[in-house]
Amino acid sequence: GDSVTQMEGPVTLSEEAFLTINCTYTATGYPSLFWYVQYPGEGLQLLLKATKADDKGSNKGFEATYRKETTSFHLEKGSAQVSDSAVYFCALRTDSWGKLQFGAGTQVVVTP
C-alpha cells in the first residue's frame, strides 16, 4: 500500500540556519504530495503542495519539489526562524476521495 517516510526528529537548529526535512513515498498511482505544519496546540495547516512530477510547491519561504525519479518531496527553507518551530507532516493522496496518507511527522526546534 501507499506509505510516507519522513526523517525522525527532533531536528534542532539555530536561527538563520538551512532547514531541510526529508520525505520519501511509496505509491501505486500518481499521488499529489503535501506538506502540513502543526504549531503547538493547534490543528494542521497546509504549508505547500505539488500535484505532478517536477512541480515545485512554495509558501512562507519553504519549498519542496516533486521528484518522481527518487520518489521524494523534501522540504527546505534557506533561513529558519524561531517561529518555524513546529511539527511538519509529509502526506500523499492517490485517490479521488481526498484521503491522505501521512508520514510520522518531524518536530523542528529553532533556537535563537
CA 84 to chain centre: 13
Interaction between residue 4 and other proteins (CB under 8 A)? yes
What binding mask, one character per residue, do residues 75-94 give for other proteins by CB under 8 A, x or -?
--------------x---xx
Report the C-alpha gap between 49 and 112 in whole angstroms. 29
* Residue 53 binds to other proteins (criterion: CB under 8 A): no
> Residue 7 carries which side chain, given as an amino acid letter?
M
Note whether 109 binds other proteins by CB under 8 A: no
CA angle in degrees (0–180, nearest 5) for 86-88-93:
150
57 binds other proteins (CB under 8 A): no
Q: How far is the CB of 79 from other proteins (least distance, A)?
A: 26
Which residues in the 16-35 window bind other proteins by CB under 8 A? 32, 34
Residue 104 CA to residue 89 CA, distance in Å, equals: 7
